[in-house]
Each structure stands twice: as structure tokens, then as C-alpha cells.
Amino acid sequence: MRLSRRSLLVGSTALVMASRAARSSDRRVLRLESRTIDVNGRPATRYRVVQSSGAWGLTLDQGEMFDVRLENRLSVPSSVHWHGMNPPWRQDGVPFLSAPPIAPGQAAEYTFPAVPVGTRWMHSHFGLQEQNLLAAPLIVREQSAISSGLQEVVVMFEDFSWTSPREIFASLRKPKPMNMASMGSSVPDLNDVTYDAFLANDRTLADPQVIDVEKGGEIRLRLINAAASTNFMIELGELDGRVLTVDGNPVRPLEVRRFPLAVAQRVDIALRLPAGAATALPVLARGEGRRLQAGVLLRPAGAAVAKIPETAAAPAPAIGLAEELQLRAEAPLAARPVDRSVPVDLTGDMAGYVWGMSVHGMEGLPVTVAKGERVELVMRNATMMSHPMHLHGHSFQVTEINGQVLAGAVRDPILVPPRTTAKVVFDADNPGLWAYHCHNLYHMAAGMFATAVYRGFS
């Protein structure tokens, strides 16, 4: 990992120079806009991120610069985070932490090497805008994916409500009656928001996207959980899938027919298509503890399109770490001792809907690191909800779950279920002031947000 990282950095210096020569032609424009979509027959006005060409999000090839002008065409301030990319601190898109928000009618510019490669995504980090669908795919196609020639299918899953995010949050924070409060302290809570629909590429199963695929061929799925607060179980039905990457980072191949995808996580799956499929093949995401699902249909030539119900026969199970324990990084971090181990307690409860992160036993304390250190985060979840924990600016590797040591996946977030301790390590190689938080939007808004800061970074 150390060597390959160094070679990437050397390569990126050359790219910076090449890009300066050709900047005007390489720069992409991304626009934050309002638009209206149809959700089960009703119009919904929500946000989106599109290029000037109308293309959704951004797709680059390995070796390209991330060179973007971001225009805010909304009537409200905004700020977009490039999730899973490790840009310089000031380009990370967290308002008031890495840069001021972008005012309506204003723009901001970003230029950095597009690393790491793989399936990333982008989303607003301003207020509760992410719940209003201000998110899009951000794919940096690996050289291996490009040369494989495989057809790629990008699917972004989201949770949708007719209730405004502000009202959802207000009702979550309302004091609960005692019986609910005491229930909440002993039984895990799978969900705290009841959504009206789940979307796959902005569509419900009443009118799903149908994607033509080659009969008997292989395709590469790039699946993104862009939901505000829903963990999904990906259901491939009878199809044989092979996990290639999680959160864009390669893992040893793992054969699957279902795979958990926590909030903000991604998975790339190579999918073998049967030679003789009479009907189009669904790729579904079912909400944790819910029967509600969303998905796309893969249609081999000649296959009929059958209706897939929006409500499955059985709810998806609780999303745990059974699969996580099987994942092994294909490109692990270099073996080296940990220089600094930081205890992080995840705190809070459903009753009061107050969530927190206590670093070294204190709420409000940042994780403090020095450049060059190998840092370990020990996340202990004493609450009865799971928390998808995300550190900006760095990719961490999962090293231990409830005492079980592993050379686990390189990730950006790790789901920490109730009563679980997860250890991850990262190399402090990107000086700045970074957000470190739960990626459940409402948990974050209710206080599960901390920072990681480098000594003498500015």
C-alpha cells in the first residue's frame, strides 16, 4: 500500500502539470438544481447534481484530475462533499469546516488528483439537503475496469419521504412517552424514520429503470447507498455475484447473492447473467427491517419485463457484520505498529434523540493526530442503534471487530452495530481539519459529529 500510494502521488504530480496545460478543456461544470420527479404518480420537487450536459454526477477515468466548477443554482446555500475521495482539506466540501458554504448563484472550484479510484459519490453536507436527494454518483473508473470491457451499471439507492426533512427531524426530537423510551434502551432500533418510498436511480418499482444487458454475459454493478438514514440489503435473487470492491476499494472476491449496504457504503459486484432468462432480472435493495424495496431490472435481449412489487414478502434482516468479517483488503495498508490509539464512544438514545461522540471520554473533543502517524480509532457503540461511521479525507482499514482481529476491508464508512466495538486504522497523510461523524443524517444533526485535526496544520 505504501509503495503504491507513493507511486500514485508521483503520478499525480505529472498530472497536475498536464492538467494546467489543458485546464480549460478538462474542467467539468456541476450544477445544483431543483427538478421535479414522479414518485408513484405524484410530483416531487427535489434537488439534483448534474453536469452542463445533463449527465447525472461525474464519471472520470483513472489518472484524470478532478477538475470541477460547482455552480449553486438553488435558492439556498449549499456545499458538496466528494465522498470517498481524499482531496486537500480546503476542497472537502464541509461547510464552516473546510470552506464557507456556496451562496445561491455563486460557484466554487475544485482541482485535485482523482484518488482513490473506484465507486465514490457526492452529496450535500449542508443542513438536511441530502434527504432532498442532493446527491449523485462520482465514479473514477479503475484501469482494470476500463480494460475489462465489462458493461457497467451504476445504481444509486435513496430513501424518500413526502414529509420535509425538517419535520422528520422535529418529530424525531419530540419527547417520547416512557414506555417507548424504556423499550428503546433494551431492544435494538433498526429504523427511526418510516419512509414513503425507496428509489433506485430516482425511480420506484412502480416504474423502474430497465437496463439492456448482454445475454449470458458478465456486468459490473456499482451500487451506492445514498440514503439519508436507511441501511439496505442488496438482493440478487438467483443471480451469482462476486464482490470486487467495497467503498470503491478492492477486496478478495467474495461470492454473494445478497449483501448488506449501510448508509453511504458502496459495493461493486461482478454479475454473471444466465444464458436463458425469460424475464428481466431485478437487482433490489430492501430496507433494513422493512419490506419496502427499490431496484432496477436487467433485461437480456428478448426477455420480458415482469412487475416487481414495491413491498417484499418478508422484511430485510438487521444489517450486521457477518459479511464484514469475511472481507479481506486486496490492497491493505502497510503493516506497521499503531502510533496512536483513540477511544471513541458512540453515545445517545432514541428516547431523547440526542446522539454524541465522546473522544477520550469527552464530548466535543477532536481526534488529534500528527502527520505521519498510524492512527487507530476504537469505536465502541453502547447505543441500541447502528452507526455508519465516516472519517473525511482518509481511507481506513478495518482491523478488529469485537475482539476478532482481521485484515479487513479498506472503507469509508464502517457500520458499528449496537453493542459492538470496531477498530480501524488509517495513515495520517492528509493534514487539515476533518469531519468525523455518523452518516445517518439525523444522528449527525442530533450531535454525532466530531472532528479530526492535525497538529500545526494551518
Binding mask 337-376 for Cu ion (x = CB under 5 A): ----------------------------------------
Nearer to Cu ion, 449 or 457 (CB): 449
Residue pair 323/256 in contact by the 8 Å Cβ criterion: yes
| Residue 100 to residue 312: CA distance in whole angstroms | 44
Cβ 265 to Cu ion shortest distance, Å: 14
| Separation between Cα atoms, residue 130 and residue 47, nearest integer Å | 9
200, β-bridge pairs: 157, 203
Could you give the 3-state DSSP secondary structure of residue 14?
helix
Q: Report, in Å, the least distance between residue 289 CB and Cu ion.
A: 15
Q: Which helix (H) or strand (E) holds 51?
A: strand 42-51
Q: For residues 231 and 397, which CB has a smaller minimum distance to Cu ion in the complex? A: 231
- In the range 425-444, which residues lie near Cu ion by CB under 5 A? 438, 440, 443
Q: Which of 220, 387, 392, 423 binds Cu ion (CB under 5 A)?
A: 387
390 binds Cu ion (CB under 5 A): no
- Residues 6 or more apart from 303 whose CB is under 8 A from it? 277, 278, 279, 280, 281
Rounded CA separation 269/109 (Å): 33
| Distance of alpha carbon 202 from alpha carbon 235, whole angstroms | 18
Binders of Cu ion: how many residues, by CB under 5 A? 4
Interface positions, 236-255, toward Cu ion (CB under 5 A): none
Cβ distance to Cu ion smaller for residue 392 or 443: 443
Nearer to Cu ion, 251 or 438 (CB): 438
Distance CA(121)–CA(382), nearest Å, equals 30
Query: Residue 246 and residue 263: Cα distance in Å, rounded?
Result: 13
Q: How far apart are the C-alpha atoms of 125 and 98, rounded to whole Å?
A: 11
| Min dist. Cβ of residue 296 to Cu ion (A) | 28
The amino acid occupying position 294 is A
User: Considering beta carbons, is residue 222 or 387 the nearer one to Cu ion?
Assistant: 387
Q: Tell me the closest approach of the beta carbon of residue 438 to Cu ion, in angstroms.
A: 3
> In the bound complex, what is the minimum distance in angstroms from residue 273's beta carbon to Cu ion?
37
Q: Which is nearer to Cu ion, 299 or 387 (CB)?
A: 387
Q: Rounded distance, CA 273 to CA 57, Å?
A: 27
Instruction: Mark the segment that binds Cu ion (CB under 5 A) among 34-42, 108-116, 302-310, 384-392.
Output: 384-392
Q: Catalog residues that contact Cu ion under the rule CB under 5 A.
A: 387, 438, 440, 443
